[in-house]
Amino acid sequence: MEVDFYKTIPIVFSSIAIAISIATIYFTRQNLKRQLRLGKLEEILEILLFLDAYYRGLFMLFKDTEQKVELLEQRKELPGYLEQLSSNRESFTEMFDMKTLISKVSRLNVLSKAYLPNKKNLKSKALTIADVYFAMYYYVKSDGNLSSKTAYTIIPNPIEMKALISELQDQIIFEMKLGYKNIGGNEHYKYYKGQFQKDLSNAIMLEKKKIEKEKSASGNRRSSSGVSDTSTTL
């Protein structure tokens, strides 16, 4: 019996070692997948920050182009500032050229489809921002001669877009899970037509509440500091 017992010890330890090795490989692979996804989420955040930085300029050019097209259709004389539209557009597209636009928007599209869930319309928001940005840029670049504008009639102003991107960034920062499926090709456009305007309004409301909360907290800190200083003086 003793001989049999001692013979089984190496087998037991070998089995344990194999089990530990398998578990280590599994958890290592899971950690690598998680780290890969975190890297992609960080890249999405970087792209959103980049697009947000240029959005105000793009929005102003878009509105000027829109007004120019309307006045030309009505055969009215253009105001002086619209006559400078071509040079303003050239200056903007030199800073933010077509190649960069396609690279950023395409990358945002691919990464959003591959690494974002559609919980709380997260994937749809990112894809819609990419589509709206692309449509606006092409409309400006073509001097209003493309029909891309007709598909996207909800154009956020800079404050709305900043609030929406801020909300999107908050969702991405807290998004840590893996393995989400892509949504259909037309699903995020359906979201744009049916839900996008509501999410813009909700984002603005949340941003206002955040600002009010920060102001209230700042006021309370000043009040506490004043009371402390008075007590010290006394």
All residues at 6 or more sequence positions from 160 whose CB lies less than 8 Å from its CB, including other chains = 200, 203, 204
Domain segments of the chain: what residues?
1-30, 56-216
pTM > 0.85:
no
CA 15 to chain centroid: 48
All residues at 6 or more sequence positions from 117 whose CB lies less than 8 Å from its CB, including other chains = 123, 175, 177, 180
What the block records as the tokens of 82 is 């619209």
Q: What is the pLDDT of residues 161-219, one digit of tens each?
A: 999 999 998 888 888 564 455 566 577 788 888 889 999 999 999 999 999 988 888 77
What the block records as the tokens of 164 is 């929406």
Q: What is the pLDDT of residues 104-155, one digit of tens each?
A: 999 999 999 999 999 889 999 999 999 999 999 999 888 887 665 567 788 9
CA torsion 123-129-130-132 (nearest 10°) is: 140
DSSP alpha helices (H): ranges in the chain? 2-73, 80-83, 85-95, 98-115, 122-141, 148-151, 158-173, 187-194, 196-233
- pLDDT band for 223, please (50, 70, 90 cuts): low
